[in-house]
Amino acid sequence: MTSTGLPQGTMPPLELLMDASAVADADVDILVIPSFSGDNGIELSLGSAPGSPFDRETQVSIWKSLVDIGARGRAGETHLLPAVPGIAATRLLAVGLGDADALTDEGLRTAAGTASRTLDRLSPSIGDGSVAALSLLGTLGVGPATEGHGLGSYMYTGAKSQDAQAARISRLIIAPPTAPRAAESAATDFSRACVVIEAVTCARDLVNAPANILYPDSYARIISDLGSQAGLTVEVLDEHQLAEQGFGALVGVGQGSPRPPRLVRVSYRPDHPEATAIGALPHVALVGKGVTFDTGGISLKPSPNMGTMISDMGGSAAVVAAVIAASELDLSVSVTATVPLAENMPDGTAVRPGDVLRHYGGLTTEVLNTDAEGRLILGDAIARACEDRPDYLVETATLTGAQVRSLGDRTPAVMGTPGFRDRVSALSREVGEGAWPMPLPSEIASDIRSDVADLRNIPSKSWGGMAAAGHYLAAFIPEGLPWVHLDVAGPAYNTTAPYGYTPRRATGVPVRTIIAVLEDIAGEAEGASSTAAE
C-alpha cells in the first residue's frame, strides 16, 4: 500500500517459492509443516513423491516426536520441534489442520493465520530476532495459505515507540504444490492473494486510526491520495457543496462537529480492450458508512467502550479498499464507491431529536434519536449513487447494535433483494467472512413511518432494530435494482483476543466479501461476452 501518512500495521514481506524442490535447502529458521488428525491420532503427509525433501525415515522421526509431545493434529494446534537431518531449517513448526478429508479453504486460512501469530510470538527467542520462515501450508493451496499467513501476521502498534516491533518474522516464503503444471496457477493465486491482503490491510489501517487524526477532511484527502495513486477518478464535495446540492442529512449529522462533513466518490472504469469491446459492462455502486467517530450526538452514548466508535467508518474503508482492489485485479466491471463522511458530536449546533432533515433526492426524515445517524448519511449517499443508474448496489455499514445482539461479533448480516442477498451471503462464506442472509419482514416497514416526514430514523417499537434499519435504507433504493446491505457493526472490529488470521481491533471485514462479489459479477460479464462473441 502506498503511504497515507497514517500509522500502518506491519507484516513481513511475502514471497512465493519459485522452485518447489528447493524446500530442503531453503535458508530459513523455521519450516512450517501441516499436520492432520486421523482416527489413530496425528498424521503427516509431507509427500513421498520424488523430489520431496522428506524421506520415509525422516517423516517417521518427525511423527514420533510429535506423538511424544502429545500433538494430535487438531485445528488450532502448533508445536515447535528441533531440526531434522537433510533439512536446512533449524526448527519445524507443526500446525494442526484437523481431519484431512474435511479441510476447507477457510480451515487452511485459519491455520496459516495461527501459524503466523505463533511465529511472531516465537521470534524473540529464536535466532537474532529476525526469523525467516518457509511454509508448506502453501502446498495445500497457495491462495488461502498466503491470505492466512499475511492477514494473520498484520500487527498494528499505532503511535507506540518502535521497539514494540523489534522482533518479528523477517521473511515469509510460501511453498507451492509440487504437482506438475501447478507453478502457473500458484503464481496467479499468489498475486491475487497479495492484492486481497493489501486491500484488507488498507481498510484495517484506516479503521485503526484514531478520530483525532482521521476526521472527514483528513480522511477525504487520504482517500484522494489512495485513489489517484491507483489511477482512479476521485471527487470530493465539501460542506458548502453538500449544502448547496441538497445533502441535508449528511450536513445535519455533521453539523455538531467543528470538523465538517464530506462526500467522496471513487470510480474505477476498466480500460482493457476486451472490456470496452463489450460495450455495456456491468456497473456496481458501492456505498459505505463513514462516521469517523460516533458519540451518539445529543442522544449521547454511555462512556464505556465509546472508544470503539473509531470503527464507525469501517464500511467506508471497506468499499474504498475494494474499488482499489478491483482496479489492481483489472476486473471487467465498472465500480463507483460513494462514501459519506461525518463526525457525530453533541454541540449547540448539533442536530436535535425532533428535527426534520431533507435528504438528497427529496425524502424527509424525522430524527428521533441522533445516535441512529448512519442510516441518515447513507440515505443521502445511496440516493446519489443511484443517480448513476448502477446495475447492482452493495452498501455496508457498522449500523446497528441489534446486528451484534442477533448474530454475534463475527457474522455480518445481509439484507436486500432475495436473489442478490443470497448470492452475496454465499460468496461471503466462501471467502471466510461468514455473512448470513436476514429477512426484511414487510410489517416492520410501517415501524419507520413518521407523522411529519416520510421516515423516522428509529422504529416505533423496541424490537426488530436491524430489519428496521434495512427497511429505512430500502426506501432509497429504486424499484428493480438488485441491492444488499451488509451490517458489520460487530465483525468490523475485534474487541476480544486475536484468533486465526484476525488480529485485535480492525478486522478488514467485509473487504474480502465485496472483492468476491465484484469478481463474481465481472466473471459473469466476461462469460456473457464470450458467449456473444462465439
**Does 416 interact with Zn ion (rule: CB under 5 A)?**
no
Retrieve residue 121's grid coordinates: 510470538
Nearest to 206 by CA among 288, 304, 263: 288
Residue among 150 and 374 whose Cβ is closer to ligand BES: 374
In sequence order, what are the beta bridge partners of 233?
Answer: 267
- Residue found by looking up cell 491507483 in the block: 230
Annotated catalytic residue, options 109, 375, 421, 512: 375
**3-class SS string, 33-69:** EEEEEECCEEECCCCCCCCCCCCHHHHHHHHHHHHHC
**Does 404 interact with ligand BES (rule: CB under 6 A)?**
yes
Residue among 401 and 418 whose Cβ is closer to ligand BES: 401
- Chain residues 264-303 in contact with ligand BES, contact rule CB under 6 A: 294
Specify whether 301 is catalytic.
yes
Residue among 281 and 435 whose Cβ is closer to ligand BES: 435
**Does 401 interact with ligand BES (rule: CB under 6 A)?**
yes
Range in contact with ligand BES (rule: CB under 6 A) among 265-273, 334-342, 368-376, 432-440: 368-376
**Does 487 interact with Zn ion (rule: CB under 5 A)?**
no
Residue among 112 and 250 whose Cβ is closer to Mn ion: 250
Retrieve residue 66's grid coordinates: 510429535
Q: How far is the CB of 455 from ligand BES (least distance, A)?
A: 13
> Is 289 among the annotated ligand-binding positions?
yes
* DSSP 8-state secondary structure symbol assigned to residue 374: H
Report long-range pairs for 103-106 (Cβ below 8 Å, ≥24 apart): 103/36, 103/140, 105/141, 105/143, 105/144, 105/430, 105/432, 106/144, 106/432
Q: How far is the CB of 312 from ligand BES (least distance, A)?
A: 5
Residue among 114 and 344 whose Cβ is closer to Zn ion: 344
Distance CA 284, CA 481 (A): 11
Helix (H/G/I), strand (E/B), else coil: 111 = helix
**Does 372 interact with ligand BES (rule: CB under 6 A)?**
yes
Residue among 294 and 328 whose Cβ is closer to Mn ion: 294
Identity (one letter) of the amino acid at 348?
G
Q: How far is the CB of 503 from Zn ion (least distance, A)?
A: 22
Question: How many residues contact ligand BES, by CB under 6 A?
Answer: 16
Q: How far is the CB of 458 from ligand BES (least distance, A)?
A: 4
Write phi, then psi, for 515 (nearest 5 degrees): -60, -45
Beta-carbon contacts of 31 under 8 Å, excluding residues fewer than 6 positions away, are 23, 87, 89, 91, 92, 93, 133, 134, 135, 136
**Does 216 interact with ligand BES (rule: CB under 6 A)?**
no
Partner from Mn ion, Zn ion, ligand BES, none binding residue 458, C-beta < 5-8 Å depending on class: ligand BES
**Does 371 interact with Mn ion (rule: CB under 5 A)?**
yes
Range in contact with Zn ion (rule: CB under 5 A) among 217-225, 292-300, 327-335, 402-410: 292-300
Write phi, then psi, for 214 (nearest 5 degrees): -110, 100
Partner from Zn ion, ligand BES, Mn ion, none binding residue 369, C-beta < 5-8 Å depending on class: ligand BES
Contact with ligand BES (CB under 6 A) among 143, 227, 340, 374: 374
Cα 142 vs. chain centroid, distance in angstroms?
19
Retrieve residue 87's grid coordinates: 533439512
- Chain residues 478-497 in contact with ligand BES, contact rule CB under 6 A: 489
Distance CA 76, CA 118 (A): 11
Site string for ligand BES, 420-459 (x = CB under 6 A): --------------------------------------x-
* DSSP 8-state secondary structure symbol assigned to residue 300: P
Nearest to 108 by CA among 159, 62, 157, 149: 149
**210, 51 contact by CB (below 8 A):** no
Q: Which helix (H) or strand (E) holds 397?
A: strand 392-397
**Does 396 interact with ligand BES (rule: CB under 6 A)?**
no
Question: What is the signed CA dihedral for 272, 277, 278, 284, rounded to 10 degrees?
Answer: 40
**Does 465 interact with ligand BES (rule: CB under 6 A)?**
yes
Range in contact with Mn ion (rule: CB under 5 A) among 352-360, 364-372, 400-408, 521-529: 364-372
Range in contact with ligand BES (rule: CB under 6 A) among 139-147, 200-208, 364-372, 525-533: 364-372
Question: How many residues contact Mn ion, by CB under 5 A?
Answer: 3
**Does 294 interact with Zn ion (rule: CB under 5 A)?**
yes
CA 90 vs CA 27, 86, 146, 208, 375: distances in Å: 9, 11, 22, 36, 55
**Does 487 interact with Mn ion (rule: CB under 5 A)?**
no
Annotated catalytic residue, options 301, 410, 429, 504: 301
Residue among 9 and 465 whose Cβ is closer to ligand BES: 465
**Does 343 interact with Mn ion (rule: CB under 5 A)?**
no
Site string for Zn ion, 358-397 (x = CB under 5 A): ----------------x-----------------------
Distance CA 47, CA 464 (A): 53
Reported in sequence order, the residue ranges of 220-306 that DSSP labels E, i.e. its strands, are 233-237, 262-268, 283-288, 290-294
Rg for the chain, CA atoms, rounded: 25
> b/e for 423-458, b at 16 or more Cβ within 10 A?
bbbebbbbbbbbbebbebeeebbebbebeebbbbbb
Q: How far is the CB of 373 from Mn ion (least distance, A)?
A: 5
> Is 373 among the annotated ligand-binding positions?
yes
Active site residues: 301, 375
Catalog residues that contact Zn ion under the rule CB under 5 A.
Answer: 291, 294, 312, 374
Write out the binding residues for Mn(2+). 289, 294, 312, 371, 373
Write out the binding residues. 289, 294, 312, 371, 373
Catalog residues that contact ligand BES under the rule CB under 6 A.
Answer: 294, 312, 369, 371-374, 398-402, 404, 458, 465, 489
